[in-house]
Each structure stands twice: as structure tokens, then as C-alpha cells.
């Protein structure tokens, strides 16, 4: 499992982990029934605290993405992908609304904001390659 932790992110590490696993489920990289690495293994691989991975897994379980069994591990639950997509679209819309409000406050035009979004999108996609 390829999880990348950013020290420069505003998000706590456990949230970065949970968000990346949610993304892997949404894109089909992880499917229903797939086992996640143990909390200890993931903590060791990422060189972070076991408590941090435990918190990420607890969040994923609370949000209905995984189910954990003592002694067996954590597994991806079946998800309604339309619902996952809709949840993600709501988050994107909220973030874009926040960006639009900030842009308006400094007089940034819609073209400048669109150019900035395109540049960020291209940078993000080039990092995945």
C-alpha cells in the first residue's frame, strides 16, 4: 500500500492516512474484502506511531469504510460507489466554494482562479506518474 505522508500538510497524519485509503477505495485500488496492513505494519512502514495508525483505522471504521476483527485484521467493506462519489463531490464543492470566497476577497478573477486550479491539478497528476 503506497501511502505518502506530508509534513507540510495542514492535516494531521492520521487524517492523511484515512483520506488516502478512502481514495484507494473510491478509485477501486482497494476492493470490498481486501485486507489492510496491520496497524503495527503500517506504523513501521510509515515510521509513525502505532497510536496514529490506530486513530486512522478507527476513523475509517467509524465512517463505514473498513471493519476490524481482533486477531484477523482490518478489511474493506462493500460500499455504494455512487454514495462515495456523492460524498466526495460535496467535499470538493465545499473546498472550491471556500477557495472562491478567498479569491474574491483579494480580487482574483475567475480566469486567474481557473488557471491556478489547472496548474495545481497538473502538478498533482505529475506527482502520481
Domains of the chain and CATH, by start = 13-76 (1.10.10.10), 81-128 (no CATH)
pTM of the predicted protein model = 0.69
Length of the chain: 129
The SS3 of residue 105 is: helix
Q: What is the pLDDT along the chain (129 residues), one digit of tens a residue?
A: 899 999 899 999 999 999 999 999 988 899 999 999 999 999 999 999 999 999 999 999 998 899 999 999 999 999 777 777 888 889 899 999 999 999 999 999 999 999 999 999 998 888 766
Strand runs labelled E in the chain: 66-69, 73-76
Buried-state track 64-86, b at ≥16 Cβ within 10 A, e below 16: ebbeeeeeebbebeebeeeebee
Amino acid at each position: 500500500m503506497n501511502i505518502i505522508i506530508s509534513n507540510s500538510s495542514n492535516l494531521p497524519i492520521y487524517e492523511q492516512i484515512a483520506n488516502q485509503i478512502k481514495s484507494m477505495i473510491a478509485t477501486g485500488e482497494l476492493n470490498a474484502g481486501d485486507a489492510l496492513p496491520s496497524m503495527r505494519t503500517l506504523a513501521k512502514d510509515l515510521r509513525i506511531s502505532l497510536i496514529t495508525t490506530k486513530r486512522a483505522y478507527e476513523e475509517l471504521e467509524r465512517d463505514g469504510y473498513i471493519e476490524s476483527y481482533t486477531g484477523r485484521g482490518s478489511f474493506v467493506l462493500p460500499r455504494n460507489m455512487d454514495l462515495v462519489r456523492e460524498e466526495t463531490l460535496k467535499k470538493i464543492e465545499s473546498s472550491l466554494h471556500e477557495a472562491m470566497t478567498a479569491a474574491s476577497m483579494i480580487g482574483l478573477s475567475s480566469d486567474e482562479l481557473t488557471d491556478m486550479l489547472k496548474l495545481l491539478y497538473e502538478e498533482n497528476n505529475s506527482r502520481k506518474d
